[in-house]
Structure 1
């Protein structure tokens, strides 16, 4: 029996669409969860993705005996972020009812369909235990506790309620309470669908064949993978603090001091400048254009250190004190 499975193009496209928004972004030190995990167990194909803040698991039943292919042996491969657009485009090029066969190789996933074959890089490295994660989440709720049914298209209406919101829901037909900064809102659940799970016990029953037995071990979403290696970005919580940071580092560079910004810090400042310019352009395009023109003149003048020194003085700082503190030699006690 080969490590291959067959399902319709519609179902594979649905799995990718449902999980792709939850995959960790490339380049942030979380290579283990960068992309979408594709797993087959002989009866279903699963797509799993997480960014440590959300997790999504979608499944589709494989085509079985009497249809284009027998289900193959179980396999698991991770299609990393840079390959996802290619995979989705290839699947979308097929009719929804087209049968697509997935075969797992050592470091590739091979897809075969009416429009040809796609051989895409896919790793077999260890992935987080999503089954244990789901068991933990279900165990945190009463088995007979009532579920509420929501329309997901309404969730986007809360994105401007605040950067962080607090929610409460007592279950059943009571509304969801949403609290933000100087904001409070309600969302009514939809009427229960008798064909869908009504309790967590029902949900576990619907997924028991996919999840397997509960070992009792806990796995929390925030700990599915280690934290990425920390980077020492310059931080500021207020406009004056960021202004001071920028002036300090500008003077450090122009003075040729040893503690000039690191590459990470330079990247952070460049990104900060972009975000601030974008916000200024949205708020006042004319002021943004005038500021860029003025900045260009100053950069062409070449005396950035003088401009920064003058700006620091105008804002009430003591740039000489900064320079003295940076240049002060370290004292070593004599033995």
Structure 2
């Protein structure tokens, strides 16, 4: 077994990014991956992607688990009241979590018929691209709300993008990376910067002079 500190926090950070589209079952859950000295939790619905990681004290064999939404919620409920050490083991397609003297074992093998996205190339490309946002982008308010689950209300985010059609990268410290795709400019709700500036242009006009008062009103 390997010890994962903060496993519940990892799942809480990425869970809002699971898809609800039943036509894309491979997106309706969380990928949990142990890669030598690091464990990752990943979720995406194509519009946003969240990757949370934790370092491991000892190196372990590489494995990957697929946790559908219902299983993610079971694990989060199981861990809610568990303080202290959390041990995790992946064996023969089943994930076992031991904490606070209790154990939970769940199926964690991805069915062969569903497509699981390859998140590493996407995140690597976004991280490698230099910031170059030279025009406005449109962002969904409902998608923005998902980032409120990263940490406390005063968490500092480092944000950049390689262009108006590239994902916005959001980093919280060094152990969380988020990607947020901008909205297409053709959507009806999208307003370009120039139109916004023009609608507020009256603020730059001088205020009208006050009318002179008649002498009898003095």
- The structure in which a higher percent of residues are helix is 1
Q: Is the 8 A contact 2:30 2:43 kept in 1?
A: yes
Q: 1:46 Cα deviation (Å)?
A: 0.7
**Aligned partner of residue 19 in structure 1, secondary structure:** helix
Partner of 2:3: 6
Q: 1:198 Cα deviation (Å)?
A: 9.4
Q: Which of residues 21, 38, 57 is equivalent to 2:32?
A: 38
Q: Is the 8 A contact 1:133 1:221 kept in 2?
A: no
Partner of 1:115: 101
**Aligned partner of residue 92 in structure 2, secondary structure:** coil
1:1-335 matches, cutoff 5 A: 4-8=1-5, 11-25=6-20, 28-62=22-56, 64=57, 70-95=58-83, 98-124=84-110, 127-142=116-131, 159=141
Aligned length: 150
Q: Is the 8 A contact 1:38 1:78 kept in 2?
A: yes
Q: Which runs of 5+ in 1 are unaligned?
A: 65-69, 147-157, 166-189, 208-219, 223-335
Q: Which runs of 5+ in 2 are unaligned?
A: 134-139, 145-153, 163-170, 182-218
- TM-score normalised according to structure 2 size: 0.57
Partner of 1:259: none
Deviations 1:242-263 (A, max 9, x none): xxxxxxxxxxxxxxxxxxxxxx
CA RMSD of aligned residues (A): 3.7
Deviations 1:168-205 (A, max 9, x none): xxxxxxxxxxxxxxxxxxxxxx9x89xx79999xx8xx
Q: Is the 8 A contact 2:48 2:143 kept in 1?
A: no
Q: Which has the larger radius of gyration?
A: 1
**Aligned partner of residue 32 in structure 2, secondary structure:** strand
Q: 1:45 Cα deviation (Å)?
A: 1.3
Instruction: Label 1:52 to 1:18 Cα distance change in 2 as closer, same or farther (>3 A).
Output: same
Q: 1:221 Cα deviation (Å)?
A: 8.8
